[in-house]
Amino acid sequence: MITTQSIRASELDRTPDLVDLVSAARDAGHEVVLIERPMPDAVSVAAIGRAFDIVAGDGGVSLEDSVGKQIDFEPGGNRILAASRLWRRLAQALGGPAEVVATGPLAVGGFAYHPDREPGGPWSGFPALLLRVPALAVTRVRGRTFASAADAPAMALLDLPPTALRAPSAHTLEVTPARNPMAWTAAVETAAARLRSGEAEKVVLAREVVARGDGVVSAGMVARSLRAAYPACFTYLVAGADGTAFAGASPELLVRRTGDRAFSQPMAGSVARGTSDADDERLARRLMDSAKDVAEHRLVSRFVVEALRPFADRVEAPAPEVVRFTNIQHLATSVQAFLHDPPADALELAAALHPTPAIGGWPRAAADRLIDELEAMDRGWYGGAVGWIDARGDGEFAVALRCGLLWEDGARLYAGVGVMPDSDPAQELFETELKLKALLSALI
């Protein structure tokens, strides 16, 4: 039996900057999670402190209270589905759905690329899955700002003063590939050859680089820089239990569930931005005419449509389009599903979709074998998902891309590419460099 106080939402008469809010809270020693997308109809959430954690455990997921005591457990081999069942019970105990989406009882967090494996090495501060019910959640919904507090004292977290950096900020970076680029391109060449032999249709291989600064790399400053540089992306920041922080700016929506509708926007196939509008158009046409990129994208969009069909009366997927971000263009398909009654919640849908071929490959088991053999790194939360779910089951999860694991004076940065049978290893290496710029420029 879960004994709790109800969590209710109240509208604020002020609009705090969410990055400033979580930065001050983290500097004061509080656990924080930020999911922000500064778009007109988007939902942004700043989560501070901990009331409850839904966290990966042996054989399923545990519900822990604010001091880490287990008070409930949900077994299951698929930890995302187990988290959905546990969240449903907890949300009802916390008072059920609020009037406004993403307010009241709310769980914020995410999961690793492999939710069934505990991350190791540099990812020791991050469990395979963590969804946190914060002591205080500040949510921005269509221009209105709400606070949902687990208790009255939690509202004081709104007024935490900003703290100055204890050491000078980094001004220069020393960037070192975690793996020799020649070895990585050789792995891409091996993967393409194995795809040509029929082992799989596609595999995504990622790279890791280590950046060390000559001063402090502030997680709050990184999040603020990413938000400014990539305003159409999902900016996120998740504090690790070991003092690290996972931050990024993802262009890709895994799934959004609003009532009886689900929406996903898979992306696969990339090209750089041009130096002018005409140059952008030329590069976009080249992307649309690329047999490799079109085949890769078709595989991904078809998977998403088929994964949503069991939950829906109808699934619609128009022709792909080119979407543009600050330094890159992607092929994207906007998939909409009209869900059965009662509709699956956001976590159930995420479990069906994750990992899409855009971040893993296809077929899934064969692609994961290739990743384990050829990638030579622990992905941790890279390629996983970050987002939120509320008590009605509405929610939004972005694919954890364009990201890095930050510590006091450096970061591990991650970027991947879709390898197809006809992939050019040198071109794939160039694409990772293009993607890594998104975070490197934000570190200083």
Mean pLDDT computed over every residue of the chain: 93
pLDDT classification of 11: cutoffs 50, 70, 90: very high
Q: How sure is the predictor about 312, in pLDDT bands with cuts at 50, 70 and 90?
A: very high
Interval 92-120: pLDDT, tens: 999 989 989 999 999 999 999 999 999 99
Q: What's the alpha-carbon Rg for the chain, to the nearest Å? A: 21
Contact 136, 152 (CB under 8 A): no
pLDDT above 70 covers a percentage of the chain that reads 98
Tell me if 180 sits within 8 A of 172, measured CB to CB: no
Averaged pLDDT for residues 417-432: 93
pLDDT at position 255:
97
- Give this prediction's pTM: 0.95
Task: Name the pLDDT band for 13 (thresholds 50, 70, 90).
Answer: confident
* pLDDT at res. 2: 56
Active site residues: 202, 252
What's the pLDDT score for residue 1? 47
DSSP 114-137: STTS---GGGTTS-SEEEEE-SEE
What is the pLDDT at residue 164? 60
User: H helices within 197-290, ranges in order?
Assistant: 219-229, 277-289
- pLDDT computed for residue 165 by the predictor: 56
Write the pLDDT tens digit of every residue in 270-290.
888 888 899 989 998 999 988
Domains and CATH numbers, the chain: 8-159 (3.60.120.10), 173-218+252-440 (3.60.120.10)
302, pLDDT greater than 60: yes
pLDDT value of position 151 = 87
Q: What is the pLDDT of residue 53?
A: 98
If we measure between CA atoms, which residue out of 322, 359, 358 comes closest to residue 113?
A: 359
Q: How far apart are CA 384 and CA 392, in angstroms?
A: 23
pLDDT score at 439? 82
Q: Compute the distance between CA of residue 402 and CA of residue 435 in angstroms, rounded to an integer.
A: 7
| Mean pLDDT value across residues 141-153 | 90
pLDDT in tens, 19-32: 999 999 999 999 99
Residue 396: strand pairing partners = 256, 388
pLDDT of residue 210 exceeding 60, the answer is yes
Residue 166 pLDDT exceeds 80: no
Highest mean pLDDT among 153-162, 285-294, 335-344: 335-344
3 band by pLDDT with thresholds 50, 70 and 90: low
Q: Is the pLDDT of residue 425 over 60?
A: yes
Give the pLDDT score at 438: 73
Rounded-to-integer distance, Cα 40 and Cα 288, Å: 29
For 78-100, b where at least 16 C-beta lie within 10 A, e where not — what string? ebbbbbbbbbbebbebbbebbeb
